[in-house]
Structure 1
Amino acid sequence: MMLTEEEITQARATLDELKVEHRDLNLIIEHLAATPLPDQDQLLVHRLKKRKLMLKDKIYQLERSLP
């Protein structure tokens, strides 16, 4: 299926947003990992890592769909 120019532009904008969010999550996770955390904060780190992985998958899928 061919994408229109508008769809390509929108997909690239979405891709940029996802990459920024992925990078931000990475910085937050690194910061939290550098400090000792109570157990409930470990759960937060786990959720953030899961979200980061989901974003990575979406980024990969979008990149593959673009010409």
Structure 2
Amino acid sequence: MDDKGLTPEERAALVEQIERLREEHRDLDAAIEALRDAGQADQLQVQRLKKRKLLLRDKLARLEDLLTPDIIA
């Protein structure tokens, strides 16, 4: 086990989950851009996509913190 108490299997699962979330985040970026480029930007839909993107970013930050060792300053 490492400093955070994660087994190698748990660490690998976290890395895999982080990669999936990053991909979903990129997909949302592309979807928002496509809506804007098509000139059919339904503001409510764009807002929902942006909100989902922010939630993903926050979740990514939390998961990445689990992988980063604490540094005492």
What is the TM-score of this pair, normalised by structure 2? 0.80
Matches within 5 A, 1:7-46: 7-37=10-40, 41-46=42-47
Q: Which runs of 4+ in 1 moved over 6 A?
A: none
SS at match of 2:40: coil
Amino-acid identity (%)? 46
Larger Rg: 1 or 2? Answer: 2
State how far apart, in whole Å, the 2-side matches of 1:15 and 1:36 are.
Answer: 32
State how far apart, in whole Å, the 1-side matches of 2:61 and 2:25 are.
Answer: 12
C-alpha RMSD of matched pairs (Å): 1.4
Unmatched tracts of structure 1, length 5 or more:
none
Higher helix share: 1
Unmatched tracts of structure 2, length 5 or more:
69-73
